[in-house]
Structure 1
Amino acid sequence: MTINCKGQLVDLSSPKVMGILNVTPDSFYDGGNLTGGQQVLEQTEKMLMAGATFIDIGAYSSRPGADDVSEEQELQRIMPAVESLLRRFPDLLLSIDTFRGKVARECVQAGAAMVNDISAGLLDETMLPTVARLRVPYVMMHMRGNPRTMQGRTDYDNLIVDVLKYFSERIAETKALGMADVIIDPGFGFSKTLEQNYGLLSHLELFKNLGRPLLVGLSRKSMIYRLLDTDPQNALNGTTALNMAALLKGANILRVHDVKEAMECVKLAEQMKSEIFS
């Protein structure tokens, strides 16, 4: 199972790690931490040295209830960072975390390698046609509504069936546009209660039936720290435990704040699988 990033075939049959790089003032865990260009470069280098294959940069916080940011503001935040990163790391496989087609287009034209869309093209009708023209890998996530309304939209007839149907429909849209490298993200923490998040994780292997690589983003989310009665800053141990569960259920990419610990999970999980099939 491979995806084509800037002419490089990335083999996802061995799980990869995507490091999170937020250039937002209000992200739930690290908002406001990266306030200057040098800090962005240093954090990226740290994640690459720890083993990250991809770096996912976002300039629009998607935490529940986050303030809206205009397209112009998002571009003003993200473009200087994208340009600086690709000057410093020209071979970087940079993913752009946005639901806006224009932001995706300008970042890919500047050298980004992938688009990561929390809305699967449903918040901007230009997104799918734009990505199809750009011919880059596309991550589509499951969410209902938008970051300001999603937590009120957790009513499902059957969570697993409904999310699988959502992806089947969205994948059909990408096929019609000739998009080749499509990755699915079940959207932990988006339009789901705490209990629904764990139900989704416990049935994660069913999403492999869609025939697409599977990205999982659990890092320091409320489904971990609320259950453990702590906070995002103290949720690394819980994150590591659930990352291992996701890998054993077929995750191809872990999207994380803490790359070193995620890479250790990958190494351990791969060893377990090799013993099972030896």
Structure 2
Amino acid sequence: MSKPKPFPAIHGGCFCTSTRYRLECAPLFCHACHCQDCNKHTGSVFACFTTIEAEFISSIGKTPPKMTTTVRADGSIRHFASCGTCGTGLWASGESPVVVDIKTGTLDLPEIMEPDVHEFIESKISWVLLPEGAKTCKGPFDYREYWPKSSLKRLEAAIQRAQERRKLLAKVAQSGNRETEEEKEADKTPTAQTPDERDEVVEDDEEFEKRYLETEKALQERLEQLSLRLKDDEEVKGDDLRPGVVQPAKEPPTAAEGQAPAATGPEN
């Protein structure tokens, strides 16, 4: 059996282009939210998110994302990544960042990340028209019901790795030896790892590739359709995807640390 094509690295960034990032593998899920809170928070008529493990986002711009933390009225904690120069919001996660929700509009190619479901459909603005056949639900969606099985397996593996990481950090703290190899490994943050380092930790296998081949195939088809439309007037320039040039990435990794959507995730 031939292996599927590697997921093309998708880039994104802020308004002023100072902060840039890259997705190293296919997302877990995409969704749109039509609740009034998202309307107010985004200043638009609905919000759109692309969910992925935190480890598989790499900072590639001259300015690293600025991280801030807020506490909601219900006591829940949210972490936000934004550009420290222009203030563009890029992604958010819960208290323990197993996965993050990227603001789809900050991607260079947001068109290929079509929402898998539209939640809070009862609050949708009347003149916002959804594609024929689009999945919808009243109120927040349940990720256990809507996520594909392959994404649920990736989430389960990511949570397990996060738990192992916390145990390792606790063990290092108890040992008091700040120069051990265990500590050096524990101190590696997801965005600090290079793709090569990531490959040493997470290995692909044929079984895992089969599990989410269908998801990658659909994204590849979207990307190819968009590329055909842009081919006539766009020129590939190095590693820059703006507006629409895609670079090949490594084979998609299995799973690593990353947090499920704030309204539906298991760790929020």
Q: Which has the higher contact order (CA 8 A, sep 6+)?
A: 2
Q: Shorter-normalised TM-score: what interval? A: under 0.3
For normalisation by structure 2, the TM-score amounts to 0.27
For normalisation by structure 1, the TM-score amounts to 0.26
Q: Report which of the two has the higher share of helix.
A: 1
From the CA coordinates, give the structure whose radius of gyration is larger.
2
